[in-house]
């Protein structure tokens, strides 16, 4: 891959010009299950509208894991919510299996969520109803979306709990969320999310609240289920290690924008955006002895939503900022990669 | 361990901390939670000791017991030669000024109605107080003018700097960092770690660095103690442990951390631990790790292993030492990557 960059570079110049909103192709030939074009999300606050996401475009192929990484306030969780039309979308479009979410009624959206696209959250305790048994919640979810009678739905619930590695699933159905550990609850959430075999699973920091040994179990489980069901997974995380291990492609977000997108190996081998480079360099390595001297750290802090400076939002923290950076750089595509930085605009 | 040059700054001997979780009709405790069970450790002057483990292993309780924020149920804490349990109130106050703590959440650790300068000034007294506050703010990379501002005007990383400035106020010898960088973004986390490393050098601080983040611990600590369900299962110099973890839990913990290099992690997957940490209300008999341990046998249920020496400065609590796999949990880095180029 590394030897090809110069060749790709020259062909990329022509390709970059026509539509900067077009993201890189997910995988050659495969029809994406989810396409996002120039997504704009803005929250109404007492101080007026605050733009949380400005112009994000991406494609997700079936069976692919696309990771969105970024720090707090970068807009990554807002993108996740927007994929289910749960955030106030003010521009652009989200298409799921060819259907534009904006054109759907509330009733149609409700039918879509769960069946076509499902979501799991960081905190599995607050996502489950504490006063209902797991069985009630699982069976209700299944019957809401599938024409199954109670007994068949119960069978399906047991089957799903088995799939996510919960022992003695029939007995678990009678238990309440508080009787389970955090890892077990997240398994139940995954079982619930996948019970209707959705095309897309949105996982927002699914392992952040879990211990590292349990995190390893859950990541491994998600990967197995993705392979088995062919579900496309959008993984939202701030953990660079988790991304390296699970993602096929990565989009890096900063201040509401996708500033770089690349296949996982390429991004780690040669990050292009100065922010991506700084981010990767500031992660301490658990598998290597410390290099000695201070850690490579980005200076400053990310801007608050809506408070980004004009032009490139990373400019105040960037060691390579130029005069031109006071205007917004375009998204430049180079082969399977794209980057929003004047350093790479040719 | 005690035979080395100077006496350790902090000695913890057989420290236990238990809490009554249920009481009978007479108000007598009927069920106990043993959060920390007979923990012993030494912290040398100028040393950074990392306490690692997963949630519920007792690492934060240990910190609180050492500071006597919750007086320990049993055992001794000796700080600079003074036994804190038997010290009189005046001595304890003096000692406490020399041991400070920085907590995880910089949002709840500062009073939102007080200026930053007032919060930092709490630990100070005398005429030079205001100048000292300004000096402390500069030490942690903020501006002296920030003393007049309120916590809500600062980001998470800046607030953690304020908490560090406040902790440095009384001129401590020991800083306990309880997940002090865990709530911060990666890029900010590196800044704060660099700040702490600089302060460690400038002030000759000793650190008790409590963290669940093993990458951060490897970058920052001289020695490590690994805790599981209230007990220390392994201690040793940081690099020795990362290059050759001995206790099965240590091996599993280290190999579970995702590595920020695509493709590098998979080999370690074989060590994936089954199940969850058992409830500390009802811990397994004998070795507390035996229910998840791939090497456990019948003997592990009967006897609780003691922390025995296995090499220079290294101690492991395991009855199955002869059968344990040894060596690094990952293949040596870059050999494959270098070969493919």
Q: Minimal Cα distance from B216: which residue of A? A: A284
- Closest Cα partner for B79 from B68, A300, A77, B69? B68
Q: Minimal Cα distance from B142: which residue of A? A: A300
Q: How confident is the model at residue B339 (pLDDT cuts 50, 70, 90)?
A: very low
A149's CB contacts (< 8 A; 6+ apart) are none
Q: How far is A240 from chain B (nearest CA, A)?
A: 6
Interchain contact, A220 vs B272, CB within 8 Å: yes
Q: How confident is the model at residue B242 (pLDDT cuts 50, 70, 90)?
A: very high
Give the percent of chain A with pLDDT over 90. Answer: 54
Order across the sheet with B82-83: list the strands.
B29-43, B10-23, B74-79, B82-83
The pLDDT score that the predictor gives to residue A217 is 83
Q: How confident is the model at residue B2 (pLDDT cuts 50, 70, 90)?
A: very low
Interface of A with B in 61-90 (CB under 8 A): 71-72
Q: Mean pLDDT, chain A, as a whole number? A: 87
pLDDT over 90 at A231, yes or no: yes
Is B334 a member of any domain?
yes
Of A182, A212, A214, the CB nearest to B257: A212
Burial class of B140 by CB neighbour count within 10 A (0 to 12, 13 to 18, 19+): buried
Q: Report helix, strand or coil for B329.
A: coil
Q: Does A212 touch chain B (CB under 8 A)?
A: yes
DSSP per residue, B61-76? HHHHHHTTSS--SEEE
ipTM over 0.95: no
Is B115 a member of any domain?
no
Q: Minimal Cα distance from A296: which residue of B? A: B190
DSSP per residue, A177-234? GGGS-HHHHHHHHHHHHHTT--SEEEEESTTTTS-HHHHHHHHHHHHHHHHHH--EEE
- Closest Cα partner for B96 from B76, B73, B72, B77? B77
Q: Are A97 and A116 in contact (CB under 8 A)?
A: yes
Is B18 a member of any domain?
no
* Distance (Å, whole) CA A259 – CA A251: 8
The pLDDT score that the predictor gives to residue A16 is 39
The pLDDT score that the predictor gives to residue B49 is 97
Q: For A190-224, give one letter per residue: b (16+ CB within 10 A) or e.
A: bbbbbbbebbbbbbbbbbebbbbbbbbbbbebbee
Of B155, B215, B263, the CB nearest to A285: B215
Q: How far is B6 from chain A (nearest CA, A)?
A: 26
* Distance (Å, whole) CA A273 – CA A315: 11
Interchain contact, A278 vs B187, CB within 8 Å: yes
Mean pLDDT of B132-136: 94
Is B246 a member of any domain?
yes
Interchain contact, A298 vs B219, CB within 8 Å: no
The pLDDT score that the predictor gives to residue B341 is 36
Enter the DSSP assignment of A33: E
The pLDDT score that the predictor gives to residue A203 is 94
Order across the sheet with A249-254: list the strands.
A117-120, A200-204, A232-237, A65-69, A249-254, A257-263, A337-340, A331-334
* Distance (Å, whole) CA A304 – CA A191: 35
Per the structure, the complete domain to which residue B286 belongs is given by: 222-341
pLDDT over 60 at B124, yes or no: yes
Interchain contact, B186 vs A288, CB within 8 Å: no
Q: Are B208 and B43 in contact (CB under 8 A)?
A: yes
pLDDT over 50 at B250, yes or no: yes
Q: How far is A266 from chain B (nearest CA, A)?
A: 9
pLDDT over 80 at B90, yes or no: yes
* Distance (Å, whole) CA B293 – CA B252: 9
Q: Does A11 touch chain B (CB under 8 A)?
A: no
B249's CB contacts (< 8 A; 6+ apart) are B226, B228, B233, B234, B289, B292, B293
Which backbone phi and psi does A185 adopt, to 5 degrees? -65, -40
Interchain contact, B194 vs A297, CB within 8 Å: yes
The CA distances from residue B140 to B134, B163, B177, in Å, are 10, 10, 15
Q: Which of A14-28, A287-301, B111-125 reaches the highest mean pLDDT?
A: B111-125
Q: How many domains does chain B have?
A: 1
Enter the DSSP assignment of B2: T
Q: Minimal Cα distance from A217: which residue of B? A: B272
Q: Where are the domains of chain A?
A: 127-196
Is B93 a member of any domain?
no
Of B190, B259, B330, the CB nearest to A296: B190
Q: Report helix, strand or coil for B146.
A: helix
Least confident among A66-70, B147-151, B271-275: B271-275
Q: Which of the two residues, A11 and A196, has the higher pLDDT score?
A: A196
Q: Mean pLDDT, chain B, as a whole number? A: 89
Is residue A73 left, alpha or beta, with left meaning phi > 0 and alpha meaning psi from -120 to 50?
left
* Distance (Å, whole) CA B31 – CA A57: 56
pLDDT over 90 at B182, yes or no: no
* Distance (Å, whole) CA B53 – CA B253: 8
Enter the DSSP assignment of B192: H
The pLDDT score that the predictor gives to residue A39 is 95
């Amino acid at each position: 891959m590394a030897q090809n960059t110069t060749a790709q570079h020259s062909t990329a110049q022509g390709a970059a010009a026509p539509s900067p909103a077009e993201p890189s192709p997910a995988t050659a030939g495969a029809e994406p299950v989810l396409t996002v074009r120039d997504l704009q999300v803005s929250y109404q606050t007492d101080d007026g509208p605050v733009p949380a996401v400005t112009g994000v475009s991406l494609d997700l192929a079936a069976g692919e894991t696309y990771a969105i990484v970024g720090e707090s306030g970068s807009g990554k969780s807002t993108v996740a919510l927007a994929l289910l039309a749960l955030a106030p979308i003010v521009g652009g479009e989200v298409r799921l299996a060819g259907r534009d979410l904006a054109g759907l009624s509330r009733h149609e959206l409700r039918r879509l969520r769960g069946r076509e696209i499902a979501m799991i959250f960081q905190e599995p305790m607050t996502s489950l109803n504490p006063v209902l048994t797991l069985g009630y919640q699982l069976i209700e979810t299944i019957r809401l979306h599938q024409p199954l009678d109670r007994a068949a739905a119960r069978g399906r619930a047991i089957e799903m709990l088995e799939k996510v590695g919960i022992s003695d699933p029939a007995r678990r159905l009678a238990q309440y969320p508080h009787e389970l550990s955090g890892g077990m609850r997240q398994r139940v959430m995954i079982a619930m999310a996948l019970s209707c075999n959705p095309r897309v699973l949105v996982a927002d920091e699914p392992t952040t609240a879990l211990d590292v040994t349990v995190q390893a179990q859950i990541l491994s489980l998600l990967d197995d289920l993705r392979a088995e069901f062919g579900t496309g997974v959008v993984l939202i995380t701030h953990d660079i290690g988790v991304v390296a291990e699970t993602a096929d492609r990565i989009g890096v977000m900063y201040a509401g924008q996708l500033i770089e997108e690349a296949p996982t190996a390429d991004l780690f081998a040669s990050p292009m955006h100065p922010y991506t480079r700084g981010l990767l360099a500031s992660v301490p390595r658990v598998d290597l002895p410390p290099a000695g001297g201070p850690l490579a750290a980005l200076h400053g802090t990310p801007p608050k939503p809506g408070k980004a400076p004009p032009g490139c939002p990373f400019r105040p923290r960037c060691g390579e900022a130029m005069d031109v950076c006071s205007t917004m750089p375009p998204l430049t595509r180079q082969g399977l990669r794209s980057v929003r930085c004047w350093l790479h605009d040719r | 361990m005690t035979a080395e040059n100077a006496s350790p700054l902090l000695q913890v001997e057989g420290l236990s901390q238990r809490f009554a979780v249920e009481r009978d009709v007479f108000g007598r405790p009927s069920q106990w939670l043993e959060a920390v069970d007979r923990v012993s450790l030494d912290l040398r002057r100028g040393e950074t000791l990392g306490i690692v483990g997963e949630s519920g292993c007792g690492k934060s309780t240990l910190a609180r017991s050492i500071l006597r924020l919750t007086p320990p149920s049993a055992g001794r804490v000796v700080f600079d030669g003074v036994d804190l349990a038997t010290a009189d109130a005046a001595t304890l106050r003096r000692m406490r000024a020399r041991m400070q703590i920085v907590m995880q959440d910089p949002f709840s650790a500062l009073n939102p109605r007080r200026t930053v300068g007032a919060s930092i000034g709490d630990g100070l007294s005398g005429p030079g107080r205001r100048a000292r506050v300004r000096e402390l703010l500069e030490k942690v990379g903020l501006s002296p003018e920030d003393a007049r501002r309120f916590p809500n005007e600062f980001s998470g990383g800046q607030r953690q700097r304020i908490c560090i400035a406040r902790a440095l106020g009384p001129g401590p010898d020991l800083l306990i960092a309880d997940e002090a960088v865990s709530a911060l973004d990666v890029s900010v986390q590196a800044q704060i770690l660099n700040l702490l490393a600089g302060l460690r050098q400038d002030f000759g601080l000793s650190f008790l660095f409590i963290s669940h983040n093993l990458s951060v611990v490897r970058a920052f600590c001289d020695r490590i103690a690994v805790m599981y369900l209230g007990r220390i299962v392994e201690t040793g110099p940081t690099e020795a442990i990362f290059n050759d973890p001995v206790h099965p839990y240590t091996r599993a913990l280290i190999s579970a951390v995702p590595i920020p290099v695509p493709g590098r992690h998979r080999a370690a997957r074989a060590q994936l631990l089954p199940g969850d940490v058992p409830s500390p209300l009802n811990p397994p008999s004998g070795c507390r790790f035996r229910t998840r341990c791939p090497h456990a046998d019948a003997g592990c249920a009967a006897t609780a292993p003691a922390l025995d020496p296995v090499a220079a400065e290294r101690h492991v609590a395991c009855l199955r030492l002869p059968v344990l796999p040894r060596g690094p949990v990952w293949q040596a880095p870059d050999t494959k990557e270098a070969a493919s180029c």
